[in-house]
């Protein structure tokens, strides 16, 4: 799973929507991956990068915005502080 996330880090610049939707389908709340500290750090950093680089795309694509929420929620539900903070600040990205 982690190899997939690392690959998506490289692909997100070329095909941002497709890469992020793949990530959202791969990450499920409560699965083993969401409890791993390296997974949380890498995935939440990727989400943060995605939000900052593709804010306009997120603002106009409800499916993509839902995917962002889904991924962040998967890590926030198990208590990763970075995911909780980014989820709380997500609304600020659109102001």
The pLDDT tens digits of the residues spanning 52-88 come to 999 999 989 999 999 999 999 999 999 999 999 999 8
Would the pLDDT of 47 be above 80? yes
Banded pLDDT at 94 (limits 50, 70, 90)? low
Domain-wise residue ranges, the chain: 2-94
pLDDT of residue 46: 95
- Per DSSP, the three-state class of 80 is coil
Helices (H), the chain: 2-11, 16-26, 37-53, 55-60, 62-76, 81-89
Phi, psi (rounded to 5 degrees) for 12: -60, -30
């Amino acid at each position: 799973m982690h190899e997939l996330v690392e690959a998506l880090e490289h692909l997100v610049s070329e095909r941002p929507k497709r890469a992020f939707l793949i990530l959202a389908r791969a990450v499920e709340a409560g699965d083993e991956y969401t409890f791993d500290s390296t997974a949380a750090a890498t995935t939440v950093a990727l989400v943060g990068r995605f939000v900052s680089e593709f804010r306009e795309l997120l603002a106009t694509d409800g499916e993509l915005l839902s995917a962002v929420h889904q991924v962040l929620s998967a890590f926030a539900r198990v208590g990763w502080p970075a995911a909780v903070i980014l989820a709380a600040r997500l609304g600020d990205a659109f102001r």
